[in-house]
């Protein structure tokens, strides 16, 4: 088989305390057919400077006359691209557009890879060539402790994922644990830059709708919840619903018409998460935005309890919701 070459795309925004470890985890890879593309999305801290220091170190090692073990493990190229702040989707898209190779490996600027990550991905790609996206398990790093994210596919699962939207499991793919065929972006498009919350899920779902995908239940990537500027886990910071995947889910309406399984999956996903994200307990603007989303739901495809909730006046539904929540607490 032809050698596999990776373009590693690393979006970077204000990760000065984490980016060094991220880059070190890449430079420690046992498989070396790769380039690194760091896209600085308008950082206001020292993130870009730290990345530049690593680039200078790599170039210095390349210019060394004597071949050493370290020099043999150098990337094929290491670039830093600076752009105005546009969000993580914008940064990833720029990195993909700049990529030279056919396999795009995504890695966030505060996450880590096992040293054998790319080596294992090569084997995985070779064993499951029909797929266009390959993902592996992750572990969360919280307070320096590592906890595996249980996807529900079975311990050690390694293979194609059939009927993704009709099978019970957690989200399988993470933005730091996937490799995607570059050609995919030409068909399904790039990351939706309107979406700042769950923008990665939106991308995965579009890929899964069009191509076979594969998953390997082996922890080879690490999601760093201890890193700074991790909005998804900052309870004081929340994106408005107008920047959330739920607000734009109706862009799939044409797919819903011919794919009832996906329609059921997506409409129930939106309904369930909307209750957590402002429908009852949000700000006035969040309640207004929630009503816009509710109006887009396909009621024939959602669970009866959601139909009841969203068709009942909000004040009555809120009382029932509180009673049900209290009963659950008393039963624990």
pLDDT for the residue numbered 270: 96
pLDDT tens-digit readout, 238-291:
789 999 999 999 999 999 999 999 999 999 999 999 988 778 888 899 999 999
Greater model confidence, 90 or 59: 90
Q: How many CB atoms lie within 10 A of CB 1?
A: 7
Q: What is the pLDDT averaged over residues 85-101?
A: 97
Q: What percentage of residues in the chain have a pLDDT greater than 70?
A: 92
The reported pTM is 0.90
Q: What is the pLDDT averaged over residues 89-112?
A: 97
Dihedral angle computed from the Cα positions of residues 260, 264, 270 and 271, in that order, rounded to the nearest 10 degrees = 130
* Domain ranges (residues) in the chain: 6-233, 241-331
Confidence of residue 168 (pLDDT cuts 50, 70, 90): confident
pLDDT tens-digit readout, 25-51:
999 999 999 999 999 999 999 999 999
Cα→Cα distances 299→8, 100, 310, Å: 41, 45, 9
Greater model confidence, 60 or 126: 126
pLDDT for the residue numbered 325: 73
Cα→Cα distances 283→31, 56, 242, Å: 49, 48, 13
φ, ψ of residue 179 in degrees (nearest 5): -120, 135
Confidence of residue 56 (pLDDT cuts 50, 70, 90): very high
pLDDT for the residue numbered 72: 54
Domain 6-233, classified CATH 3.90.550.10, yes or no: yes
pLDDT for the residue numbered 285: 93
Confidence of residue 150 (pLDDT cuts 50, 70, 90): confident
Q: Which of 92-101, 168-177, 212-221, 227-236 comes out lowest in average pLDDT?
A: 227-236
pLDDT for the residue numbered 92: 98
pLDDT for the residue numbered 232: 42
pLDDT for the residue numbered 98: 97
Q: Which of 18, 20, 80 is nearest to 50 (CA)?
A: 20
φ, ψ of residue 271 in degrees (nearest 5): -60, -45
Q: What is the 3-state secondary structure (H, E, C) of 32-78?
A: CCEEEEEEEECCCCCHHHHHHHHHHHHHHHHCCCCCCHHHHCCCCEE
Answer whether residue 322 shows pLDDT above 80.
no
Cα torsion angle, 94, 96, 97, 100, sign: positive
What mean pLDDT value characterizes the chain? Answer: 90
pLDDT for the residue numbered 80: 97
């Amino acid at each position: 088989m032809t050698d596999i070459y990776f373009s590693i795309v690393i979006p970077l925004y204000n990760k000065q305390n984490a980016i060094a470890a991220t880059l070190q985890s890449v430079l420690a890879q046992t498989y070396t057919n790769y380039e690194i593309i760091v896209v600085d999305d308008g950082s206001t801290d020292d993130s870009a400077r730290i990345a530049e220091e690593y680039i200078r170190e790599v170039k210095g090692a390349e210019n060394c006359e004597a071949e050493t073990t370290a020099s043999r493990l150098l990337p094929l190229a290491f670039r830093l691209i600076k752009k105005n702040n546009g969000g993580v989707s914008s940064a990833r898209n720029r990195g993909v557009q700049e990529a030279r190779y056919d396999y795009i490996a995504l890695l966030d600027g505060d996450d880590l890879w096992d040293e054998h990550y790319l080596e294992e991905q090569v084997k995985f790609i070779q064993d499951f060539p029909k797929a266009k996206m390959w993902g592996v398990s992750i572990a969360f790093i919280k307070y320096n402790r590592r906890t595996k994210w249980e996807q529900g596919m079975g311990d050690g699962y390694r293979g194609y994922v059939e009927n993704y939207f009709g099978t019970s499991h957690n989200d399988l793919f993470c933005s730091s644990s996937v490799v995607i065929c570059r050609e995919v972006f030409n068909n399904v498009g790039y990351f939706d830059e309107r979406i700042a919350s769950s923008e990665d899920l939106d991308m995965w779902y579009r890929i899964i709708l069009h191509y076979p995908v594969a998953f390997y239940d082996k922890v080879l990537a690490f999601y760093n919840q201890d890193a700074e500027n991790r909005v998804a886990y900052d309870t004081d910071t929340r994106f408005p619903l107008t920047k959330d995947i739920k607000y734009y889910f109706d862009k799939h309406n044409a797919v819903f018409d011919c794919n009832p399984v996906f329609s059921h999956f997506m409409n129930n996903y939106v309904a369930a998460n909307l209750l957590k994200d402002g429908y009852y307990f949000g700000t006035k603007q969040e309640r207004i935005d929630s009503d816009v989303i509710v109006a887009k739901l396909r009621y024939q495809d959602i669970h009866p309890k959601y139909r009841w909730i969203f068709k009942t006046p909000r004040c009555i539904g809120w009382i029932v919701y509180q009673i049900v929540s209290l009963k659950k607490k008393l039963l624990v």
